[in-house]
Structure 1
Amino acid sequence: MVELRRTRRRLSIAVLLTFAIVALFVVRLVDFQVVRAAELNEASHGKRAVSQTIYAPRGDIVDTNGVVLADSVTRYDITASPRHANAFNRRADDGTTQKVSVFDALTEISEISGADINKLMTAISSDPESNFTYLVKGVDTAKYRAIRDLGIPWVYVETVPKRTYPNGSVAGNIVGFVGTDGPQNGIEVTENDCLEPTKGVSTYEQGADGVRLPGSTVVSTEAVPGGTITLTIDSDLQWSVQQTIAEQAIAIGAESAMAVVVRVSDGHLMAAADWPSVDPNDRDGLDPAFLGARMFTYNFEPGSILKAMTAAMAVDQGTASANTKVTVPSRWETPEGSVIRDATNHGEYRLTLPGVLAESSNVGISKVASELANAVRYDYLRKFGFGEETAVGFQGEEKGLLASSWDSQQKYDIAYGQGVSVTLAQMASAYQALANGGVRMPLTVVDSCTLPDGTVLRPEASQGVRVVSESAAQQTVDMLQSVVTNGQLSSVLSIPGYNVAAKTGTGEVAEGGVYTNERIVSVAGIAPADNPEYVVIVTIVKPDIMKTSYAAAPVFQEIMARVLKTYRVPLSIKPAPNLPTTW
């Protein structure tokens, strides 16, 4: 009986203990699955889930014909999980198993990629509890495949786009480049809103050993490629213009050279060349001053190519015409006591306004300009686009220097392009206005942005700005033909079959407020003069020899002739006007 009671007591205790244990498990289960479920799930997911950036390619930059000037190619970043970096077993082709240490694995990656083994070891060991570190960035497809085939379980790969420039230095000054910190110059910067892709995000799960679980990848945010920028630049023409100015600049020992081709009807830049030119693929060793487009960023005194604007405003105001007669000594003392000199000593000339332009007389154009009030001339120069950025809004673009009030010397100097600084882009815009019947269209280098969904975005159309009347513009262009038919450089400016209007210019270079013997020489021209389609300007900076416009004239002639031929411009159908240059 006693034994039976003891047995029942033991059984009761056992049952109570069982219930207590079950109750404890139930409480813990409720705590895990109900009370702390979200917290524990998040912590568990955080330990097994790995977030990864998905890269999309940056948009292309293409020329007016669709030729690719900038694109993206696929490269691969090799990453690793230091937390899981341990020795592993690798099965050979013959079925044997080989143990591979961390050092051996990194040595294999080093041999394939060319990375320093010491840097790889540092990446793995510097934070051993980390789940992510870069080993090698930007390897090509062949190296990526070779590393992948090593089968290292704690090594992963990220696909990343790399920027390349298939045509090298062709339009490199305009296109710009992307560096390690993102867009750094040119169109790559100014049109980044169109070109920049949207990154995506994916998540995959890994096991306790750090190996990605097959089929576990989930994309939470899709990556979106960048849009395509289409330029107005013709890359074939750009290449030939770059070659032409480079050859002449090197031959005469110039510091630099620039040339621009503008389509008259819409202000499109067909070529915008610099020498030295920048290859976006290899920028090492190039002076930073030449990394951008100098036609927008370099200020200079234009010299006599500005005389065309002075003549046009005088004609527009009715104070001068092709029949205006000017008595021109080589040295003239103005009513205010200033002294104006022509480039050479000569006897007294009797020149018409076309003759003043053909002879490039500082004295003659100063006398013509003196008939206009300073404020009137200033307003015309602003309408021509001087003293402000062009519509292009290029990175680092300069405004030049155009004072709003002039002293007794400046009022004459500015008439012939001294005491004022401009960019080549501004000067090209001014000549486009003359060629376009007096209407200045905004310069354009970006034609459109095509978004990934096919939407095409273009700059808003502009009616342009009327600078001078159509009659004044045409009379000025007619007078500029006298420079080609009667000027000293007629033989190197003429193009058979076409009427050409042009103006030469030699600007003095000031340093420390004092003019030096350095020169900037230019030729600006329009063709065909009887039905203008293109403007070409060539500017050569600080040549060692041939410090006159003769240095730029044959380059202008070669470029303009190529433009007319390339775009099959019809020949002139009437002879150039035979305007009298003397009286």
Structure 2
Amino acid sequence: MNPPRSSRVRASITLIAIFALVAVFMVRLVDIQVVRAEELNEQSEGKRSVGVTTYASRGDILDSNGVALADSVMRYDVTASPQNMGDVIRKLEDNTRVTVPLLDVVKEIAETLGTDVAALQATVQNQLATDPDANFMYIQKGITAEQMAAVRALKVPWLYYENRPSRTYPNGQVAGNVVGWIGTDGPQAGLEFSENDCLEATNGSQTYERGMDGVQIPGSTVTSKQAIDGGTLQLTIDLDLQWFTQQRISEQAQAIGADWATAVVVRVSDGHVMALADYPAVDPNNVDASNVIDLGSRAFSTPYEPGSTFKAMSAAMLIDAGLADVDTKVSVPGALELSSGDVISDAFAHPMMQWTTAGIIQQSSNIGISMLSERMSDSARYDYLKKFGLGSRTEVGFNGESGGILAHGDDWGVTQSANISFGQGVSATSAQIASIFQTLGNNGERMPLTLVASCTAPDGTVTEPAGEPTHVVSEYAADSAVNMMETVVTGGSLRNQLQIPGYRVAAKSGTAEVAEGGVYTNDRVVSLAGLAPAEDPQFAVVVTYGKPDTIKTSAAAAPTFRKIMTQVLTMYRVPPSTEPAPNLPTTW
């Protein structure tokens, strides 16, 4: 029997409806997958894909023995997903559940992190008001592992954690002025700044996807840029000696009321800086605690008129040029009137004295060294001074380093020519003075002053500083200068403060007037520089105090010099001297 007509009609209508519905789906599918595919993909990607920075570690700064002076530790950024923010449901011990309102959760987070509650609540509220669908916002940057564990214990599902290497300085003020520090804008001072090409890390980037609940989808991470750690910078500085040196200059600077102080220890054979101390010292972990004028290294940045420490160099130049010798006889008056009308005097009153060149060095006579220096032309003396490194920055190239002031020999004039022979009318840094004494101790060969021993790249490539020695004066001239400085220790006014039992020491004191506004004042810069053992110099030590309130002569620097030199000889097990000091004639 044929089905009724009404049944056929219903079947037809159903088929038509099905075809119509399929047609609608197909049109919609074409619209989504073809017409609007790119637009929708971008929107979807923006909501589920999260781009993050993968942080590389900045390179370590090590002392000569591999001890860290600066390194990177892991810190963590706390972030949140605003679109998933909301009240938190917590399960209590009795298995009941309690709902904690959003702002109360934010308060718990702030209190756990030790940050301002109201400020963090305001930040969250502002974010939710302006862009509630955002996937990312910072809660706090750079927290410790302990802080992160405490926040995790709150079990807030919309909080996330990212690694962020942070800089730390394990030894605080020890070598702080040299090492420098990292600020919010990157390297700010010291070797952190000047050696950034070695130390700098290159951060990478990754993208991962989150589900609707904000949780990262496993296996969805794609690395678009690989992170590369920075290189390792090894210094010539010995941490233990650096600590000792800083302690000694600090205690004496405070005792005599000095505004500042420096001390430099250099290995004579290769120019390696074994210690370089500044007072006041800077703690890179707490830079804000220091005065802004103390943030650099005065040993490199602060030139001063060095005074009589120059005299040994002046004598070496004359001997090298064949214009004098250790026993050259000079009749030294109590005052010397120059053709300019200016008068040169010594630090103590005396009648006409019959001194040799050695005697002039021992007695630190401004008049005597001026008279001897008249034998050499200003242009020739200028050329010697340039070879000694005056007027130019050292090879270290330290951040903020000064080359000092050295006018050209053609421009000196009579008075300045005389003054330069005994260290006035010219300025140099403590690092430059240390280089001068390294040269005299190294048979007249100036080695490039070296603070950085090497940089080791992440791939193992090692780069060492290149530099050639400079022949400045003859071995005979340099050795003669050292022998004459030894008479300062054996027979000078500071002999009781300079002698080190078992060792021959060569030293030269310096007391220089400080000029302000073109006029010399009552302030002084006092120094003591020397070498040991004198018969075969291994180390040079330079100690300087700026503007002391009490002892305004080089006697203020002598005790510190002896302590540091004694420590150096002991630390590096330098054998005691076995030969007696030469008996140079100082009078005639």
Shorter-normalised TM-score: what interval? over 0.9
How far apart are the structure 2 equivalents of 1:376 and 1:249? 38
Deviation per residue, 1:208-227 (Å, 9 max, x gap): 24333344333333322222
Does residue 1:486 correspond to 2:491, yes or no? yes
1:135 aligned counterpart, secondary structure: strand
Does residue 1:418 correspond to 2:424, yes or no? yes
State the shift of 1:500 in Å: 1.2
Aligned twin of 1:472: 477
Please tell me the residue identity of whatever aligns with 1:117.
V
Aligned twin of 2:515: 510
Aligned twin of 1:521: 526
Identity among equivalent positions (%) equals 56
Deviation per residue, 1:218-239 (Å, 9 max, x gap): 3333322222111100010111
State the shift of 1:421 in Å: 0.9
How far apart are the structure 2 equivalents of 1:494 and 1:121? 68
How far apart are the structure 1 equivalents of 2:348 and 2:77? 66
8 Å CA contact retained: 2:88, 2:105 = no
Does residue 1:433 correspond to 2:417, yes or no? no
Does residue 1:125 correspond to 2:104, yes or no? no
8 Å CA contact retained: 2:57, 2:229 = yes
CA 1:429–1:78: 2 relative to 1, 3 Å? same
8 Å CA contact retained: 2:90, 2:98 = yes
Does residue 1:116 correspond to 2:120, yes or no? no
How far apart are the structure 1 equivalents of 2:178 and 2:274? 12
Aligned twin of 1:91: 91
Does residue 1:106 correspond to 2:106, yes or no? yes
- TM-score, structure 2 length as denominator? 0.94
Between 408-417 and 97-106, report the one with greater CA deviation: 97-106
CA 1:146–1:216: 2 relative to 1, 3 Å? farther
How far apart are the structure 2 equivalents of 1:428 and 1:279? 25
8 Å CA contact retained: 1:123, 1:134 = no
Unaligned runs of 5+ in 2: none
Aligned twin of 1:565: 570
Aligned twin of 1:195: 199
State the shift of 1:385 in Å: 0.6
Q: Where do residues 447-458 of structure 1 align in structure 2 (5 Å cutoff)?
A: 447-458=453-464
Does residue 1:208 correspond to 2:208, yes or no? no
1:408 aligned counterpart, secondary structure: helix
Aligned twin of 2:307: 303
Aligned twin of 2:586: 581
8 Å CA contact retained: 1:303, 1:417 = yes
Please tell me the residue identity of whatever aligns with 2:311.
K
State the shift of 1:8 in Å: 7.2
How far apart are the structure 1 equivalents of 2:426 and 2:301? 15
How far apart are the structure 1 equivalents of 2:72 and 2:96? 42
Unaligned runs of 5+ in 1: none
Aligned twin of 2:48: 48
Deviation per residue, 1:61-92 (Å, 9 max, x gap): 11101111111222222112223221232333
Please tell me the residue identity of whatever aligns with 1:232.
T
State the shift of 1:7 in Å: 8.1
State the shift of 1:5 in Å: 8.7
Find 1:231's aligned residue among 220, 229, 235. 235
8 Å CA contact retained: 2:210, 2:216 = yes
1:506 aligned counterpart, secondary structure: strand
2:33 aligned counterpart, secondary structure: helix
Please tell me the residue identity of whatever aligns with 1:340.
I
Does residue 1:251 correspond to 2:255, yes or no? yes
Q: CA RMSD in A?
A: 2.0
Deviation per residue, 1:108-129 (Å, 9 max, x gap): 1122111111111122122221
Find 1:538's aligned residue among 513, 536, 543. 543
Find 2:152's aligned residue among 144, 148, 153. 148
8 Å CA contact retained: 1:82, 1:125 = no
Please tell me the residue identity of whatever aligns with 1:530.
E
State the shift of 1:57 in Å: 2.2
How far apart are the structure 1 equivalents of 2:516 and 2:482? 34
2:288 aligned counterpart, secondary structure: coil
Please tell me the residue identity of whatever aligns with 1:471.
Y
How far apart are the structure 1 equivalents of 2:149 and 2:291? 38
State the shift of 1:534 in Å: 0.4
Please tell me the residue identity of whatever aligns with 2:526.
V
Find 2:226's aligned residue among 222, 226, 240. 222
2:286 aligned counterpart, secondary structure: coil
8 Å CA contact retained: 1:354, 1:482 = yes
State the shift of 1:15 in Å: 5.2
